[in-house]
């Protein structure tokens, strides 16, 4: 169990905002922090990693106290057993993939662990390549592998997939899940994508203006709405195409693109890139075995 309690006054554009959170994460769980821009999500990850000090706070990992401001305890970032991946990959451009990973492992090199990471992240064919010759998705796989070379038990991911396009994002989500399970990690991800959150997370912490206002399973968070649909899926609008009196919306749900016919009135406030809920009220589903 990881227990965190942080308080810090932040300087937001609109003035001061108190970040005041208290949460616990079960060992091997996958938690998402979800909330509007500026709510304090990145600040929480930075405090967990020891990169930023709260005014008041405590953090306990299993039985070890990593932070206790009142007792003046604060474990240095390099001693916290944490791997981090950010939106920008921050790989060393002058080093190959393998050298980037070796450099991150420091003096405690474990060649077989490194080989295993390269294999799991599908990088075997790219070991000798420099980051600039790789695609965004491949570079982010290197960043993921690099975060795990020192065998951390906690993985913090700050919107690592937001710069990637949809199809690559789906594949990267699979890699993240594979690594999370394989290395028995306790993972915290910042994400704005309901589809991604439903696919990956066990629990969502909803952060609003520095406070956790909801904490629940992803499906409950994203499907509890006024709609009484029998089927509800969260997705992202890819395209809006008027066709005569109706409008056709192409919506990405998981890895599938579905087309929904709407009245112009219904889609007035919707634009491409919006997250939407697709619900059906009267609908007799057909179930077919595919495997």
Ligand X SMILES: Nc1ncnc2c1ncn2[C@@H]1O[C@H](COP(=O)(O)OP(=O)(O)OP(=O)(O)O)[C@@H](O)[C@H]1O
Interface positions with ligand X (CB under 6 A) = 10-13, 35, 37-43, 52
Q: For residue 270, which of 238, 234, 245 has the smallest C-alpha distance?
A: 238
Using the minimum distance from each CB to ligand X, give the nearer residue, 12 or 75. 12
Query: Smallest gap, in angstroms, from Cβ of residue 253 to ligand X?
Result: 23
Give the chain as a DSSP string: -EEEEEEEEEEETTEEEEEEEEEEE-TT-EEEEEE-TTSSHHHHHHHHHTSS--SEEEEEETTEEEEETTTTEE--GGGS-EEEE-SS----TTS-HHHHHHHHTTT---HHHHHHHHHHTT-GGGTT--GGGS-HHHHHHHHHHHHTTT--SEEEEESTTTTS-HHHHHHHHHHHHHHHHHTT-EEEEE---HHHHHHH-SEEEEEETTEEEEEE-HHHHHH-SS---SEEEEEEEEEEEEETTEEEEEEEETTEEEEEEEEGGGGTT--TT-EEEEEESS---------
Using the minimum distance from each CB to ligand X, give the nearer residue, 48 or 118. 48
d(CA 152, CA 159): 19
Query: Smallest gap, in angstroms, from Cβ of residue 143 to ligand X?
Result: 17
Query: Smallest gap, in angstroms, from Cβ of residue 171 to ligand X?
Result: 23
Q: How many CB atoms lie within 10 A of CB 37?
A: 7
Give the total residue count for the chain. 291
Query: Smallest gap, in angstroms, from Cβ of residue 221 to ligand X?
Result: 17
Using the minimum distance from each CB to ligand X, give the nearer residue, 40 or 131. 40
Using the minimum distance from each CB to ligand X, give the nearer residue, 41 or 203. 41
Using the minimum distance from each CB to ligand X, give the nearer residue, 130 or 192. 192
Query: Smallest gap, in angstroms, from Cβ of residue 15 to ligand X?
Result: 10
Query: Smallest gap, in angstroms, from Cβ of residue 135 to ligand X?
Result: 24
Using the minimum distance from each CB to ligand X, give the nearer residue, 102 or 159. 159
Using the minimum distance from each CB to ligand X, give the nearer residue, 21 or 134. 21
Query: Smallest gap, in angstroms, from Cβ of residue 41 to ligand X?
Result: 4
d(CA 195, CA 191): 10
């Amino acid at each position: 169990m990881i227990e965190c309690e942080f308080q810090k006054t932040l300087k937001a554009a609109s003035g001061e905002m108190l970040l005041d959170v208290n949460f616990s994460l079960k060992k091997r769980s996958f938690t998402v922090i979800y909330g509007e821009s500026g709510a304090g999500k990145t600040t929480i990850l930075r405090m967990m990693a020891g990169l930023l000090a709260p005014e008041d706070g405590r953090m306990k990992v299993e039985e070890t106290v990593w932070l206790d401001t009142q007792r003046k305890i604060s474990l240095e970032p390099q001693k916290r057993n944490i791997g981090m991946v950010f939106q920008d990959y921050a790989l060393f451009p002058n080093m190959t993939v393998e050298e980037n990973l070796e450099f991150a492992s420091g003096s405690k090199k474990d060649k077989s662990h490194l080989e295993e990471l390269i294999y799991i992240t599908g990088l075997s064919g790219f070991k000798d390549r420099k980051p600039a010759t790789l695609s965004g998705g491949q570079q982010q796989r290197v960043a993921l592998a690099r975060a795990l070379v020192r065998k951390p038990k906690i993985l913090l991911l700050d919107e690592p997939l937001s710069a990637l396009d949809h199809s690559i994002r789906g594949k990267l989500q699979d890699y993240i899940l594979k690594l999370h399970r394989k290395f028995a990690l306790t993972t915290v991800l910042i994400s704005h994508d309901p589809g991604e959150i439903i696919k990956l997370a066990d629990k969502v912490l909803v952060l609003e203006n520095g406070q956790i206002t909801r904490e629940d399973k992803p499906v409950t968070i994203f499907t509890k709405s006024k709609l009484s649909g029998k089927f509800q899926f969260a997705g992202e609008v890819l395209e809006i195409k008027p066709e005569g009196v109706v409008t056709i919306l192409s919506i990405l749900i998981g890895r599938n693109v579905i087309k929904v016919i709407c009245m112009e009135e219904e889609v007035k406030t919707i634009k491409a890139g919006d997250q939407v809920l697709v619900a059906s009220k009267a609908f007799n589903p057909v179930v077919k075995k595919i495997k």
